[in-house]
């Protein structure tokens, strides 16, 4: 006699693991369900299947990432609970690296009235032995075939394993003049918070102009869950740190979730995050993936690693999640060095222990914090199925952000010398002179300023972050390319192969710069050519103006050769690079010695203008002591 597989089991003390979500926007329906045959209709509450219709939840949001649960939890029991009227065949599959995609359970269930059915799903451990050899955990998904017209009201994965904890979460959002994005997200988050057991408070830090959107102001004023804090613009770092600073003072909070104001979230993933956190065996950082807001079926980044040169390597970049093989990278569990703060849940006890980010304004605060936690043995897991949509970085062109990219990487390499290599003078020369060769005077000027400010050591941070930023913004504006919308009829640049080898590259850079020096102002009067950002390099750009754009044409910027500007920057760059060669080791030692003060409670008490039980005069005393120490270091290294 054939064994019944799987058995319907009695519903006793089941705890949530994962909600099976229906799409709320048909543009991204394939990230939630796939139509295999027949006809289906759905809204956010129910699913209607015609007879002989088959659908699959072999999708990004509705897969159960078994290998991640096996690694991070002790859940050993799993059920699919489905509420329906009609008759269906349920098929349950596991996709694993070791055995491929296999049907592991199936069952026919039905009812003439809406009723609840629960089906057992066998869980594979990380390396359990069984029929066929090792059964490594992978990814589980469900297919549904309707034998007659069927309505499905809900589907969820549950377990009889009791949660190890009950998470208490604060959400931290910093915002700067993005009221339409913010209002949309707050409406969703507020609705979720009203019914959630886990979300205690939404800490909202506004660093821009006072809100003018009446609906947004009313929402905040009438909410019991949103706490608004107004402060000057301290960058994303200062905004997020303020939310961390506020949450650590609250009793009973287990996790703080950092989230960008312009991230587009399916708020239902918060319930799945809550379930995952409740079963964790260790306090790890759980990050959300970034999906491309412009191409919302594209996975842009699933956590990131930091290379030895302190540059970021995004994991699983540019994956089309509609592809049937798109989820193969997530069959096996893996960590990341860090997860960006578009959506990231950090255990509050780790924030208390690791202290706060240094006040670096923007760029690299999340990266450094993730590395800091990693150095303490705390893992970061970029959890598949938890994600937000965010504006992709290819839609933006570098401006003042370039300064922070370089300055903060210099600081990071100094603080972690055992892990990251400092930029050499030669590599900075290629960056600086390469920018001049393609008339990107803004980047060249910002690289110079980043070098000069890094060499000041932590004394730089005596000046407030908003004052530093004002100075950098003015410098970027002075050398900014101008907008050039009329690109119709422009001739494209001619693509040429890049020279191979440092010597050939250096010689071409010299020729490009010399050509602009000799031509005077004639180059500005030439007709500009059109170039994609990927085509802008020393091989393709000569002594002529060009308009740089990207695929979606979200920017169109005119770069022009300018001899007087070039000559001024050449002299400033020469001096900065010479100083870097002489003093970068001493500066690195100063940053290592002073970084703990910048991360500390007292420093942020001073920045936020609060005493919080300490005397902010102590901060100035500590910084004065550090200045004296820095002077000694410079004297010793000179």
558/611 same-domain check: no
pLDDT of 638 over the 60 cut? no
The interaxial angle of helices 401-415 and 563-599, nearest 10 deg, is 50
Q: Name the percent of the chain lying above pLDDT 70.
A: 91
Is pLDDT at 1 greater than 90 in this prediction? no
Residues 150 and 194 in one domain: no
pLDDT of residue 127: 58
Question: Is the residue at 164 inside a domain?
Answer: no
For residues 240 and 213, membership in a common domain is answered with: yes
Grouping H, G, I as helix, E, B as strand and the rest as coil, residue 305 is strand
As a whole number, mean pLDDT of residues 314-326 equals: 96
Q: Are residues 90 and 216 in the same domain?
A: no
DSSP letter at 64 equals B
Q: Let me know whether 382 and 483 are in one domain.
A: no
In a domain, 72, yes or no: yes
Q: Is 606 helix (H, G, I), strand (E, B) or coil?
A: helix
Question: Within this chain, do residues 555 and 501 fall inside the same structural domain, yes or no?
Answer: yes
Name the domain count of the chain.
4
Q: Report how far residue 43's alpha carbon sits from residue 566's, in angstroms, rounded to the nearest whole number.
A: 60
Q: Distance between CA atoms of 129 and 135, rounded to whole angstroms?
A: 6
Are 559 and 591 in a shared domain? no
Query: pLDDT tens digit string along 32-48?
Result: 999 999 999 998 789 99
pLDDT band at 523 (very low <50, low <70, confident <90, very high): low
Q: Residue 306 has what pLDDT?
A: 97
Residues 182 and 302 in one domain: yes
- Identify the pLDDT of residue 524: 64
DSSP letters spanning 89-141: EEEEEEEETTTEEEEEEEEEEEEEEEEEEEEEEPPP-SSEEETTEEE---EEE
Structure tokens at 622: 């500590």
pLDDT of residue 4: 38
Identify whether 265 is part of a domain: yes
pTM for the model stands at 0.91
> Residue 489 and residue 528: Cα distance in Å, rounded?
10
Average pLDDT over residues 616-621: 42
User: Is 2 part of a structural domain of the chain?
Assistant: no
Residue 555, Cβ density class (10 Å: 0-12 exposed, 13-18 middle, ≥19 buried): middle
One domain for residues 199 and 327? yes
Q: Final residue of a domain: which of 519, 542, 569? A: 569
- 528: number of Cβ within 10 Å: 19
Res. 617: pLDDT tops 50: no
Q: Which residue has the tokens 């991360």?
A: 599
CATH number for the domain including 194?
Answer: 3.90.550.60
Range of the domain at 599: 586-637
| pLDDT band of 12, cuts 50, 70, 90 | low
Judge if 183 and 314 occupy the same domain.
Answer: yes
3-state secondary structure of 6: coil
3-class secondary structure, 446: helix
In the prediction, which pLDDT does 398 show?
A: 80
Final residue of a structural domain among 332, 364, 395 = 395
244 located within any domain: yes
pLDDT tens across 256-265, in order? 999 999 999 9
Contacts of 632 (CB under 8 A, 6+ apart): none
- Write down the pLDDT at residue 45: 83
354 and 380 together in one domain: yes
Sequence-distant (≥ 6) Cβ neighbours of residue 606 within 8 angstroms:
616, 619, 620
- Residues contacting residue 498 through CB under 8 Å, at least 6 positions apart: 505, 537, 538, 539
CATH number for position 49 = 2.60.120.430
pLDDT for 100 equals 93
Q: Would you say residue 342 lies in a domain? A: yes
> Which pLDDT tens digit goes with each residue over 138-197?
999 999 999 999 999 999 999 999 999 999 999 999 999 999 999 999 999 999 988 888
Contacts of 34 (CB under 8 A, 6+ apart): 55, 56, 57, 58, 59
Task: Grade residue 131 by pLDDT with cuts at 50, 70 and 90.
Answer: low
Domain assignment present for 603: yes
Confidence at residue 522, expressed as pLDDT on a 0 to 100 scale: 64
Indicate whether 634 pLDDT > 90.
no
Query: Are residues 322 and 299 in contact, defined by beta-carbon separation less than 8 angstroms?
Result: no
End of a domain among 159, 193, 214?
159
Indicate if 600 and 565 belong to the same structural domain. no
Here the tokens at position 493 are 């640049």
pLDDT in tens, 592-613: 999 999 999 999 999 998 533 3
**Residue 446 CB coordination number (10 Å):** 26
Is the per-residue pLDDT at 629 higher than 70?
no
pLDDT interval class at 129 (50, 70, 90): low
Q: Of 212-226, 266-280, 544-558, give the lowest mean pLDDT range.
A: 544-558
Task: Tell whether the model's pLDDT for residue 133 goes beyond 60.
Answer: no
pLDDT for 125: 66
Question: Is 312 inside a domain boundary?
Answer: yes
Whole-number average pLDDT of the chain: 91
625 — pLDDT class (breaks 50, 70, 90): low
What is the structure's pLDDT at 566?
96
Residue 587 pLDDT grade (very low, low, confident, very high; cuts 50, 70, 90): very high
pLDDT in tens, 449-461: 999 999 999 999 9
Q: For residue 348, is the peptide bond before it cis, meaning its omega torsion is within 30 degrees of 0?
A: no
């Amino acid at each position: 006699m054939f064994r019944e597989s799987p058995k319907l089991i009695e519903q006793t003390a089941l705890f949530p693991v994962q909600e099976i979500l229906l799409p709320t926007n048909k543009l991204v329906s394939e990230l939630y369900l796939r139509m295999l045959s027949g006809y289906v209709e759905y809204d956010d509450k129910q699913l209607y299947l015609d007879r002989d219709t088959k659908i699959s939840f072999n999708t990004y949001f509705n897969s159960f990432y078994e290998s991640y649960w096996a690694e991070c939890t002790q859940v050993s029991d799993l059920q699919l609970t489905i509420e329906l009227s009609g008759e269906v065949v349920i098929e349950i599959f596991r996709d694993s690296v070791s055995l491929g995609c296999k049907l592991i359970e199936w069952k026919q269930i039905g009812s003439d009235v809406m009723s609840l059915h629960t089906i057992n799903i066998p869980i594979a451990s990380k390396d359990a032995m069984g029929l066929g050899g090792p059964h490594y955990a992978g990814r589980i998904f469900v297919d549904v075939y309707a034998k007659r017209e069927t309505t499905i009201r809900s589907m969820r994965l549950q377990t009889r394993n009791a949660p190890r904890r009950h998470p208490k979460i604060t959400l931290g959002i910093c915002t700067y003049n993005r009221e339409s994005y913010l209002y949309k997200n707050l409406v969703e988050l507020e609705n979720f918070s009203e019914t959630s057991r886990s979300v205690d408070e939404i800490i909202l830090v506004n660093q821009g102009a006072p809100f003018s959107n009446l609906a947004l102001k009313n929402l905040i004023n009438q909410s019991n869950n949103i706490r608004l804090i107004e402060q000057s613009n301290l960058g994303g770092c200062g905004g997020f740190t303020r939310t961390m600073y506020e949450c650590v003072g609250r009793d009973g909070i287990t996790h703080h979730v950092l989230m960008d104001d312009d991230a587009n979230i399916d708020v239902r993933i918060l319930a799945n995050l809550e379930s995952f956190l409740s079963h964790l065996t260790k306090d790890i950082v759980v990050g959300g993936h970034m999906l491309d807001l412009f191409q919302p079926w594209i996975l842009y980044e699933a956590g990131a690693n930091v290379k030895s040169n302190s540059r970021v390597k995004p994991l699983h970049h540019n994956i089309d999640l509609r592809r049937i093989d798109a989820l193969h990278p997530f069959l096996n569990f893996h960590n990341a060095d860090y997860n960006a703060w578009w959506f990231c849940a950090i255990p509050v006890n780790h924030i208390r222990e690791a202290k706060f980010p240094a006040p670096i304004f923007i760029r690299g605060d999340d990266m450094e914090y993730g590395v800091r936690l990693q150095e303490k043995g705390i893992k970061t897991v970029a959890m598949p199925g938890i994600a937000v949509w965010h504006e992709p970085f290819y839609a933006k062109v570098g401006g003042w952000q370039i300064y922070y990219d370089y300055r903060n990487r210099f600081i990071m390499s100094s603080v972690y010398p055992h892990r990251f290599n400092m930029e050499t003078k030669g590599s900075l020369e290629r960056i600086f002179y390469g920018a001049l060769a393609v008339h990107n005077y803004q980047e060249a000027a910002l690289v110079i300023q980043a070098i000069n400010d890094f060499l000041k050591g932590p004394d730089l941070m005596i000046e407030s972050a908003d004052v530093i930023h004002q100075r950098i913004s003015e410098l970027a504006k002075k050398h900014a390319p101008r907008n050039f919308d009329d690109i119709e009829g422009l001739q494209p640049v001619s693509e040429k192969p890049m020279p191979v080898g440092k010597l050939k590259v250096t010689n071409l850079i010299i020729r490009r710069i010399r050509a602009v020096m000799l031509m005077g102002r004639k180059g500005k009067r030439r007709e500009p050519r059109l170039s994609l950002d990927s085509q802008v390099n020393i091989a393709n750009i000569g002594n002529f103006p060009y308009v740089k754009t990207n695929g979606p044409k979200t920017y169109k910027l005119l770069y022009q050769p300018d001899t007087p500007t070039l000559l001024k920057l050449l002299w400033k760059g020469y001096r900065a690079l010479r100083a870097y060669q002489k003093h970068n080791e001493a500066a690195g030692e100063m940053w290592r010695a002073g970084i703990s003060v910048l991360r500390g409670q007292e420093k942020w008490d001073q920045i936020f203008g609060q005493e919080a039980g300490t005397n902010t005069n102590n901060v100035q005393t500590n910084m004065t002591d550090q200045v004296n120490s820095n002077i000694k270091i410079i004297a010793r290294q000179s």
